[in-house]
């Protein structure tokens, strides 16, 4: 769970759970994630960066809106000495 164990300076990777019934009833992973983030005082991260939906357009729009600037990931790799 990259988002759960991330450093505070690291970006939160947006998460989309497509199929509300599946992720809330069949395999209730959404309730578990929300509980973990809330209990560790990261509920605002969860609310801002996790989407549960049945709507394809909403999922795509959410991911596009949450995408980091193009150089964000490259900057992180450079800071860690993984790129020159």
Q: For the whole model, what pTM was predicted?
A: 0.71
Is residue 12 within 8 Å of residue 6, measured between CB atoms?
yes
pLDDT at 78: 80
Cα atoms in the Cβ-side hemisphere of radius 13 Å centred on 25 = 4
Domain ranges of the chain: 2-79
Q: Look up tokens 């959404």; give the residue.
A: 30
Predicted confidence (pLDDT) per residue in 18-70, tens digit: 999 999 999 999 999 899 888 888 888 889 989 999 999 999 999 988 877 77
């Amino acid at each position: 769970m990259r988002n759960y164990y991330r450093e505070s300076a690291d970006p939160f990777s947006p998460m989309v759970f497509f199929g509300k019934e599946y992720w809330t009833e069949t395999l209730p992973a959404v309730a578990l994630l929300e509980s973990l983030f809330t209990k560790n005082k990261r509920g605002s991260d969860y609310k801002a960066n996790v989407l549960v939906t049945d709507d394809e357009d909403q999922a795509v729009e959410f991911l596009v809106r949450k995408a980091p600037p193009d150089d964000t990931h490259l900057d992180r790799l450079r800071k860690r000495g993984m790129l020159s």
